[in-house]
Amino acid sequence: MSTFPNQAAPSNTSMAPTFLLVGMPGLSAVPSWWTIPLITIYLLSALGNGTILCVIALDPTLHHPMYFFLFLLSVSDVGLATALMPTLLGLAFAGVHAVPASACLLQMFFVHVFSVMESSVLLAMALDRALSICRPLHYPTLLTNDVISKIGLAIAFRCLGLHLPLPFLLAHMSYCHPQVLTHSYCLHPDIAHLACPGSWSAVYSLFVVLSAMGLDPLLIFFSYGLIGRVLQGLGSSEERWKAGQTCAAHLSAVLLFYMPMILLALTDRLRVPVPQPAHTLLSYVHFLLPPLINPILYSVKMKEIRERIFKRLQPKKVGCAQ
């Protein structure tokens, strides 16, 4: 871990005035070097997801459940990338390690809100795919506009309701350890780890993690188990291929989002001796790669999205009708 000249000594304070972030190991001497990749990743993520948002919003033929969930996925991707950028760019541009506690808690709130939103949307998309393949005749009556609206409200309530108490809990906790975090951004487990023993915030944190990041992938893979059983019963391989292609982009997005997180959790829980650069890089992959790759996945795999994008990119012909 990097050393800081102004690192705070262990204390028992109500709230740390600042938290200290770590940059990418090995790049602290040349912080400006990784500014260009960061800005490039963010701009490409914003462009890709913004394109999908515009295409879905402006085309009434895409106002269906599958595209509504894709719209929410793009919102969560843009929000997550935007929430991470302030501290990442501060470290990259000027090597700013110290972050005020209020700004750190605010970033933590939005990072976790958009992370849980993405997890919830991926679960909703898995439900949508399972119903469309396993119950195709009942699909239009099961996922009506009213049901979709309720799912959207449930996702919003879940994201905000779970994480709204966290900044207030952490702001009133006592801290007994040096306020040095292990990432380039503020995350709840990092901050809670610095608190004095005996805090019940850890119990609430465990509940939040298990109710979202623990439960969602289990339900998603259960949905794909049902889908796989139905696909095995289809008559021809062509039908299985066609049905499987409708799930390919979503399954890729699921693996891209959850696999780095699971690997990080396993290395921490099993105390696997992973080099700090590899641990930090895996964290970057978990947070920054899905917003960059998801628009590409859905543009390539979903014919309707791809055709609408190409149509809007084509120059309009100007002239007199014959």
Domain boundaries along the sequence of the chain: 18-25+32-313
pLDDT at 1: 41
Question: Taking the domain 18-25+32-313, which CATH number applies?
Answer: 1.20.1070.10
Check if the beta carbon of residue 179 is closer than 8 Å to that of residue 16: yes
Q: What percent of the chain has pLDDT over 70?
A: 84
% of the chain exceeding 90 in pLDDT: 30
Q: Are 101 and 15 in contact (CB under 8 A)?
A: yes
DSSP category for residue 62: G
Q: Note the pTM of the prediction, 2 decimals.
A: 0.86
Compute how many other C-beta atoms are within 10 angstroms of the C-beta atom of residue 119: 25
The answer, yes or no, to whether residue 107 has pLDDT greater than 90, is yes
- Exposure of 145 by Cβ count < 10 A (0-12 exposed, 13-18 middle, 19+ buried)? exposed
pLDDT band at 317 (very low <50, low <70, confident <90, very high): low
pLDDT in tens, 29-86: 555 567 788 889 999 999 999 999 999 998 888 888 889 999 999 999 999 999 999 9
pLDDT digit string (tens) for 286-300? Answer: 899 999 999 988 887
Q: What is the rounded average pLDDT of the residues 223-233?
A: 85
CA-wise closest residue to 121 among 77, 163, 162: 77
The pLDDT value recorded for residue 292 is 93
- End-to-end Cα, the chain, rounded Å: 72
Q: Is 202's pLDDT higher than 90? A: no
Question: Residue 163 has what pLDDT?
Answer: 87
What digits encode the pLDDT tens for the residues 160-189?
Answer: 988 888 888 888 877 777 788 888 889 888
